[in-house]
Amino acid sequence: MSLISPFSRRLYLRIWLAVVGGVAVFAFAIGLAWRWAAEQNLHQPPTREIVITDGLGRTLVDGTGVRQRGDPSEGVRYRIEGDNGMVYEMHLSPRLPMGGMRPGERGPAAWLRPPFGFLWVLALVGIAVTVGVFPIIRRLLQRLELLQRGVQRFGEGDLSVRVAEQGQDEVAALARQFNAAAARIEKLVQSHKSLLANASHELRSPLTRIRMGLELMQGGQPSPAFRAEIERNIAELDQLVDEILLSSRLDAGAADVGTIEPVDLVGLAVEECARVDAEPQVGDGSPIEVPGVSKLLRRAVRNLLENARRYSQGEITLAITREGRDAVLRVCDHGPGVPPDQRERIFEPFYRLPGASERSGGVGLGLALVRSIAQRHGGSVACEDRPDGKPGACFVLRLPTGD
C-alpha cells in the first residue's frame, strides 16, 4: 500500500506510467504478431515458381517449388513439380552467418540472433521512450503543482498570491482565471475592510454628538434646537447605515437589489429636481427610457443632486439628452469645482476633498454609490468642467438605453 500511495497522489507519475504501459502493450502486441506470422509460415510453406536453365539459356526444369519443413540449420529444401510431370528436389545449403563466416567460425552472440535481436530492439525502444517522456511530463505537471500550491496558499489566507502564466494551453488559461479571481476577491476583501474601518469612524461622530447632548441636558426638558440637532444626527446615522448596506450589496454583486424594468429617466429626474430646487433641462420633454432598477437609478440621481446642492453657491441644473445609444444626464453646479487630479479619487468610498470633511453633511459615500450603480447598469460616471467655463463642476452619468 505504501508503494502505491505516491503514484496515486502524483499526477505526473500516473501519466508517465500510462505512457510506459502503452509502450509495453504495443511491444507485446508486435511480438505476438511477429510470432503468429512465423508460425503461419511454418504451417503453410510458401510455394514459388522455379525455373532452372543451363549456361546456354535452355530450360532444364520449369515448375512449382514447395519448401519442405525441416531444421533451418541444415539448409533449405524445395520439392519441384515440373511441367513434364517429373518431380525434382533442390537443396540449398544454410545461409552463412553475418560477415560471411564459414561453419565452425564464431558468429554473433545468441541474444543478437533472430528472434532475440528483434526483442532487444523493442526493449531498447521502450527504455528510450520511458526515459525520454519522463522529463517532458514532469515539466508539464510542475506547472500544475505550482498552481496547486498557489491555491493552497490563497486558501490559507494569503490573498496576494499569484501564479505564473506560462504558455497558451489549458494550464495557462487556468492560471489566468485563478489570478483574475484572486485579484477580484482581494479587491473585494480590501474594499470591505476599508468600508468597515471608515464606517466605524463615521458612526462615531453623530453618536458622540448625541451622547454629549444628552449629558448636557441632564434630565431637563430638551429645547426645540436640541431636538432638531438630535433629529439631524439620527437622520445622518440612518443615511450612513443605508448607504453602507447598499454599497456592500453592490460591491458583492448581490442579485436581489431590484427588478430590471424600463425606467423613465426624464420623469425620475424631474421629481428629484423638485426635492432640491434644481432646474431640469429635458429638451422637448419626450421620455428617455433605460433598462434598470428604478430605486437604484433614483438613488444615483438624488446623490448627484444632493452633492451639487451641498457645495454649490448658485443654481443647479440637470440636463438629460440622448447621445447615440446612451442616455446622458449632466448635473452642473456653481461650487468650488474639483481639481483635475482629484476627479477619480472623489468616487472612492469615504474620500472627500481636502477641507470638505468639515462642511455639514456627507460622509463620502454618495459619489461612490453613483459609480457602483452606473457600473451595475453598464454605464459610467465622470466629473468634468462646466461647458460654459464658469466655476463649478459637472457630473456626467451615462446609461445605455438598450436600443
CB neighbours of residue 294 within 10 Å? 15
Q: What are phi and psi of 164, to 5 degrees?
A: -70, 140
Cell numbers placing 190: 480590501
Q: How far apart are CA 96 and CA 215, in angstroms?
A: 122
Cell numbers placing 324: 447615440
The DSSP H or E segment spanning 18 is helix 11-43
Cβ(324)–Cβ(332) below 8 Å: no
Q: How far apart are CA 241 and CA 230, in angstroms?
A: 17
The 3-state secondary structure of 307-336, one letter per residue: HHHHHCCCCCEEEEEEECCEEEEEEECCCC
- Among this protein's residues, is 201 annotated catalytic? yes
Partner residues linked to 63 by β-bridges: 50, 82
Active-site hit among 91, 192, 201, 377: 201
Residue 272: exposed, middle, or buried by beta-carbon count in 10 A (0-12, 13-18, 19+)? Answer: buried
Q: Which residues are known to be catalytic?
A: 201
